Structure 1
């Protein structure tokens, strides 16, 4: 693998250049013919006149909307519950339930001035006592140890009704960013969770929970909302797990909005079909996640030559051209450029002959149609997930492409497909040679992906070494922008030197609405659903 640094000023405009070592593979041409018919479908129904309800397709059930749990549907929670601070465009931290805040010079405390005259949906005042009650449901609790903020909050002080102070065990620069998350840091009415026992979803947000079941949920306008009140009366979330069913429902006028990485994902082929449909409008935002091929260093992939050969032999450009909508989606690093402190872009080489030479020199010699070393065949198991996971909609097809291409240099790839729950269990147990992993995206990155996937001892590490532990800790502890760029740059350099991953794609974030929907904008991150300024008809 070869890397070249680019200047900070040119990061977002850098282009991955590849030295082509082979013609476009047959599987790509065949797949293109299969996918093209989707684009030929047109809209079938229009909706005339204004409506007071917007219907939004969601890929998963609403679940229990307990803000201090990690099971409820993100977007349903976002309609109801609000944070102290919000994640804006470009990672800007903006006021929400806190009007302002001040970090102590030593970084050991943060003082928030809370917004006044805010009430929960049940009429309970939102004040410092209510905020403290909520924070104490997760701060310092073992089950939330994955969240750095939970570990560093030592005390929650309430000097007066509208002032909240977080006393920290040490400076923790990502704290404000982590306070923008949906769960577990949002605020519920203490009256709706007596003694900390969650009873019903009651927040301060612009929408009030009305009902939910396995088919979806209903939310009505909060007429007492402290901020901009919604234009519409109702939001209906409709559970439609299948991607093509969602698109058909949008065309038929059964739903008004689909899209987003978690809400109801739209893939690149569907996006092209939507873009050619006059009854629909396609909206896209910058990519904020990267899907990469990762290796288990405890098995055959622990051989650096094997990792380097797989990197050289993976035709990422062709994969993106067919599966992900174009070569502009080729991933250029561990994080896409939209992520703060994403680092310099990386030039990569696709060269099948060079990959074969690396294996030859490492002692993996051809034995018929496969490679062996010391009597052991070069066989790798690729763990795949059967149901869609955020950022990995087309992982199975990508896996089949890798299997086909790597066979040409004598590497055998066995595909093992499991469901979502088993996928993460198997990954945590190290029961794989290869698998795909995706970064979290905003508002988590870069610190949360780094702490969750690039550290020794975490549940599902994508790579971990003592040196990487040290580099990640230094990056998370940095506070000044220049220091952050330098510290995270060292993390990325270590991953590149180790050939610890093969970045595949950083796809745009697609949303689609019916043409009568006005005012919807691509949100700053995938866990947000802002419908306050939206009208229908």
Structure 2
């Protein structure tokens, strides 16, 4: 830890002095916020095949799409003030904002929307989400037309409830860019977008510097997620510090101002910093291999679900920062319902009855976990102990994270303490866990009726109708017990007390607009 902290300190010491950025001749002096990231971004292009999590985090402050995600994952206007959907759901007409300019000062028009879409859809662009628009993972966009500078029309081959949602996908947004993002040969230079910050400087392996866009035209709605009002108040430097311990040390010494933090690395309380905790959207789960000879019996799986005080496990593992949520719909989402809040309740007499009915004779189950993600390991330890106390014999198998991922992908496990990355809509998460294990061993839930129910809302945009279906899917999954969803991993940020306006977001991307530094 000392060596890591020293390496991090040396890397940060090589940067310009903290407190104030080095302004250009034309730019006013702003305070500088320093945010620690584990590794450098690998590209400056939104959604590029080389992207990583930090690419997404940086560019969320630089580029914008026609619409934006609010904190509850609902859709809000951004570069489009409004849109109309044709009665058959196949035509989206966007009415664009007036007065918006790109970072190079050129006006934003419908031609830029079409140019951006056409660029991303070229195979040589390396855009990873072309499948959302070419018919592979969603509807096929048949045409993008521009009747006038303030109007753009997308024609689809079929209706899609997730068309707008895909535009906002954090890992590959349909960002609206200026053609100045490319050189005269069509080679990528840097993102010239419309967002509140300019992608100003990138010293690879060390930092990325964002500076406020003086001509940014903020929306007037209340800020929420990536939507609403955005006011850039400081320069932002993303500093690459690989080790979490080194990041904490750098924050304590005042060399950085913010960092993401895991629930098991919280430093002691201090007048100079604090932890901001908010709901997350990454589900922590206890997986059960339903094709295992013993676990193929739903009575055994149900006994496992009823043998443990699951809210107590969640509280113990998270230190009280998370609450039990048995649904694949995050409890921070607008689509979450009272039905989603219904989970398993410990019932030891029923456990005894189910085990006897299934003919359970004390066979030992193997629970696989890892030490890299402490919450997965801690959950496994609690589950193993409590299941054994309830008469279900379980032994732990601790493996390297890479081995566990391979076992998950191949389906070679009995029980597994695992976690999924957040999805921007419950349909995408249910789509990941539902399927046929013969074709895709990574799916956990084989239920043809549930798959048909999920497909039935492919073109349904009414939130009330979608809520009803997700609630039904939750109840069906509770009955089948292919997995036990424990909680949504909390979003934690360690912040210097010099900053004001920092908020969390279930999708984890840190937003630096509306944040000030004293």
Q: Shared topology, TM-score over 0.5? A: yes
Deviation at residue 527 of structure 1 after TM alignment: 4.5
Structure scoring higher RCO (CA < 8 A, sep ≥ 6) equals 1
Q: Deviations along 1:280-309, whole A, 9 cap, x unmatched?
A: 233333344431212222224323233122
Please say if residues 59 and 265 of structure 1, whose CA atoms lie closer than 8 Å, have aligned partners that are also in contact.
Answer: no
Whole-angstrom distance in 1 between the partners of 2:352 and 2:409: 31
| Match in the other structure for 2:24 | none
Question: What secondary structure does 1:293 align onto?
Answer: strand
Task: Measure how far apart 1:324 and its partner are.
Answer: 0.5
Local SS of the residue matching 1:329: coil
Q: Secondary structure at the match of 1:402?
A: helix
Counterpart among 222, 229, 232 of residue 230 in structure 1: 232
CA shift, 1:356, in A, is: 4.7
Once the two structures are superposed, what CA deviation does each residue of 1:64-102 show, in whole Å capped at 9, x if it has no partner?
132132523221121222121111243442221222211
For residues 115-164 of structure 1, the C-alpha deviation after alignment (integer angstroms, 9 at most, x for no partner) is: 34434334555332322232235569896376478631222222223321
The equivalent residue for 2:31 is: 52
Q: Distance in 1 between the 2:182 and 2:441 partners?
A: 30
Indicate which of 255, 264, 273 corresponds to 1:280. Answer: 273
TM superposition shift of 1:251: 2.3
Residue aligning to 1:379: 365
TM-score by length of 1: 0.77
| Per-residue deviation, 1:235 | 0.9
Distance 1:224 1:104, change over 3 A: same
- Output aligned runs, 1:131-146, within 5 Å: 131-138=113-120, 144=129
Q: Which runs of 5+ in 1 are unaligned?
A: 1-46, 259-263, 372-377
- Contact in 1 for aligned 2:112/2:179 (Cα 8 Å): yes
1:304 aligned to which of 277, 298, 304: 298
| Structure 1 residues 304 and 180: alpha-carbon distance in aligned structure 2, compared to 1, 3 A threshold | same
**Pair 1:122–1:433, CA change in 2 (3 A):** farther
**Alignment pair present for 1:101 and 2:83:** yes
Tell me the equivalent position of 2:208: 217
> Structure 1 residues 203, 527: closer, same or farther in 2, change over 3 A?
farther
CA deviation digits over 1:196-225, x for unaligned, max 9? Answer: 753433332222221142344222222333
The question of 1:429 aligning with 2:423 is answered no
Measured in 1, the distance between the counterparts of 2:297 and 2:65 equals 46
CA contact (8 A) 2:161 2:457 kept: no
Partner of 2:4: none
CA contact (8 A) 1:129 1:161 kept: yes
- How far 1:463 moved relative to its partner? 1.7
SS of the equivalent of 1:286 reads strand
Select between 161-170 and 319-328 the one with higher mean Cα deviation. Answer: 319-328
User: What's the RMSD between the two structures over aligned residues?
Assistant: 3.2
Matched, 1:497 2:491: no
Shift of 1:381: 4.7
Q: Which residue of 1 aligns with 2:453?
A: 471
Alignment pair present for 1:86 and 2:88: no
The equivalent residue for 1:151 is 138
Partner of 1:365, secondary structure, is: coil
**Number of residue pairs aligned between Structure 1 and Structure 2:** 464
1:8 aligns to what?
Answer: none
Matches within 5 A, 1:128-277: 128-138=110-120, 144=129, 147=132, 151-152=138-139, 153-184=141-172, 185-193=174-182, 198-209=188-199, 210-227=201-218, 229-232=231-234, 234-258=235-259, 264-267=260-263, 270=265, 276-277=269-270
Q: How far apart, in 1, do the equivalents of 2:43 and 2:252 lie?
A: 30
Check conservation: 2:365, 2:415, Cα contact below 8 A. Answer: no
Residue deviations 1:34-64 (CA, integer Å, cap 9, x gap):
xxxxxxxxxxxxx999971001122343221
**SS of structure 2 residue aligned to 1:290:** strand
Match 2:345 to one of 345, 349, 354? 349
Change (3 A) 1:327 1:116: closer
Task: Classify the secondary structure of the residue corresponding to 1:333.
Answer: coil
User: CA 1:339–1:69 in 2, change beyond 3 Å: closer, same or farther?
Assistant: same
Secondary structure of 1:291's partner? strand
Partner of 1:453: 433
* 2:511 matches 1:530: yes
Give the structure 2 partner of residue 338 of structure 1: 332
Q: Match for residue 317 of structure 1?
A: 311
C-alpha separation in 2, matches of 1:154 and 1:434: 45
Aligned to 2:224: none
Shift of 1:111: 0.9
The alignment partner of 1:506 has SS state of strand
Q: Which residue of 2 aligns with 1:62?
A: 41
- TM-score (norm. length: structure 2): 0.79
Q: CA deviation at 1:414?
A: 4.0
Q: For residues 475-528 of structure 1, give each alpha carbon's deviation from its aligned partner in whole angstroms, at most 9, with x where no partner exists.
A: 4433323322221122112101101221222344333321111222334x4354
Q: Measure how far apart 1:469 and its partner are.
A: 1.0
Counterpart-to-counterpart distance in 2, 1:459 and 1:154: 34
Q: Partners in 2 of 1:78 and 1:327 — Cα distance?
A: 26
Shift in Å, 1:416? 4.3
